[in-house]
Structure 1
Amino acid sequence: MFIVATVSLFIAMILVLIRLFAGPSLYDRVLALNSFGTQTVLFIGVVGFLMGRPDFLDIALLYALINFVGTIAILKFFRYRAIGDMRRDMGEADG
């Protein structure tokens, strides 16, 4: 049963990669990247269960946190063209 889930997740990851490279807009590509990260977390969890390694769940949780923060950072960068605090950067340029 879990082997079927692993194969299904792998196929879904390939389909999301196709959407990532062929996405018509930037936000479609970011959404595909976020979906790929979520599926990777699921894949790590299922593989950890199949191998009898419960410590893989810690790795999956860490990867989920990195995926979330990375997605927010990418969206902020493409919206404001900066990652840091814009007010501070603008204030230093004025004075």
Structure 2
Amino acid sequence: MLDVAINAVYFMLSLALLFAFIRLTRGPSLADRVVALELIASVVVGYVGVHAIDTGVSSFLDVAIVIALTAFLAAIGFARFLERGGLKNE
């Protein structure tokens, strides 16, 4: 029963990753693309978390934390970029 649930979660995360990648490539604005990158990072954290549950290796959770912190710092960097004026040609 647990294998079915884990496979269902993997499938849903794969769909979310696909839709986020579509938004990343077709996003009309820079902000849409950055939000898509944040979503991709969150989905990857979900993948790593589910893999940690599936395999029973808790050290994968440390990897998920590092990925989440890196994505958070990227979001802060983008917010600072927009606060300072963003791209000058837009």
TM-score normalised according to structure 2 size: 0.82
Asked if residue 68 in structure 1 is aligned to residue 82 in structure 2, the reply is no
- Match for 1:21: what amino acid? T
Is the 8 Å Cα contact of residues 6 and 47 (structure 1) preserved in structure 2? no
Runs of 4+, deviation exceeding 6 Å: none
CA distance in 1, matches of 2:25, 2:74: 18
- Deviation at 1:75? 2.9
Give 1:22-37 correspondences, 5 Å limit: 22-37=26-41
**1:45 matched residue in structure 2:** 49
- Deviation at 1:78? 4.0
Aligned residue for 1:35, secondary structure, equals helix
Aligned residue for 1:31, secondary structure, equals helix
Q: Percent identical across equivalent pairs? A: 33
Aligned length: 82
TM-score normalised according to structure 1 size: 0.78
Aligned-residue RMSD, C-alpha? 1.6
Question: What runs of 5+ residues in structure 2 fail to find an aligned partner?
Answer: none
CA distance in 2, matches of 1:17, 1:39: 11
Aligned residue for 1:54, secondary structure, equals coil
